Amino acid sequence: MLSHIKVIDASTVLAGPSVGTFFAELGAQVIKVENPLVPDVTRSWKLPVEDSNSTVSAYFSSINYKKEYLQIDLRTEDGRSSFLALTSDADILISNFKSGDEEKFRITDAILRKHNPKLICGKISGFGSESDRVAYDLILQAESGFMSMNGTPESGPVKMPVALIDVLAAHHLKEGLLLALLKRAAKGKGTTVTVSLYDAAVCSLVNQASNYLMTGKVPERIGSLHPNIAPYGEIFKTKDGELITFAIGSDEHFRRLCAFLGCAELTTNSKFETNPLRVINRTELFDILQNKISEINVELILGEMLKQKVPVGKIRQLDEVFTDPSARQLVRQEMIDDTKTKRVTSIAFKWE
């Protein structure tokens, strides 16, 4: 649906390139521009099992898909001229240049729009356009509060296993760029959309932020538990040794779970009959439920809870996830530099 759109992706690492992939999957022509001497650093972010001589890595492949690749050295006059020519008929430019680089290379928004007044510029920074601080996802997880909440009392702060702040910032930039295309259709002029990793991170604190802002309660590390709901996130072991978790979001869910487990009396117990009480007494409740769940095999629990519409999930590793046909249909493949690459799609919505 965006086959008429040309995107220049001059960004590196995860957030910006994933935005480029998003537009490519929607049919846009996406040209990834890299410095010939210092290409996208994620090409070298390889697992020990990957080919050390390959020009691509699994990490790089995850957010670079359906793109054309071009090498331009902006430090040279020929490179600058090539870049200006490339953007002169483009619709969108995605970048995450270091502070001051646009001026150094003489490719500021004003200069670019002298050649192409309709150009939309999408920019990602770490801590805002006024900051020259180098930022990676880990640093934003640390500084925005996510690491302080993630983990257990015993583990200390823990980084999330995906670059979630990069992913969140990318989604904000996608939204901004799509709105910029609508604005251009109405006004006829390009605009600049900026997103900082810091703003994206803080804006994503949602209920944890409101818990603090409205009560002064600083979130503690409680593992997978939910501070407002119980049982929610507790990990239970079944009779056959599988691990499952429940998201009991209502009293009705709790009644149905207890009826299945044969402990309906808990629903009228003064310690457990309401969600606030269950949060207060969640440790005692866990022990009671675990004793019941340890006597039942996982498939029976999953099947019965599905019938009862009680939210339950088996904790699966990725090798289990990608045996599921629903997950496999989200995998996309292509050859990059003679290497067969795979990734999951950047598009989860469907059109009807």
Where exactly are the structural domains of the chain? 6-136+171-196, 232-319
Tell me which architecture the domain covering 6-136+171-196 has in CATH. 3-Layer(aba) Sandwich (3.40)
Question: Against a cut of 0.85, is the pTM above it?
Answer: yes
Give the residue numbers annotated as catalytic, written as ranges.
166
Compute the chain's Rg from CA coordinates. Answer: 25
* C-alpha to C-alpha distance for 16 and 170, rounded to whole angstroms: 6
Q: Classify 232-319 by CATH class.
A: alpha beta
Closest CA to 6 of 65, 94, 80, 73: 94
- CA 286, 289, 295, 300 dihedral sign is negative
Contact 238, 298 (CB under 8 A): yes
* C-alpha to C-alpha distance for 274 and 20, rounded to whole angstroms: 47
- What is the per-residue pLDDT across 19-37, written as a single tens digit (0 to 9) for each? 999 999 999 999 999 999 9
* C-alpha to C-alpha distance for 82 and 303, rounded to whole angstroms: 60
- What is the per-residue pLDDT across 156-207, written as a single tens digit (0 to 9) for each? 999 999 999 999 999 999 999 999 999 999 999 999 999 999 999 999 999 9
Place of tokens 């290497």: 339
N-to-C CA span, the chain = 14
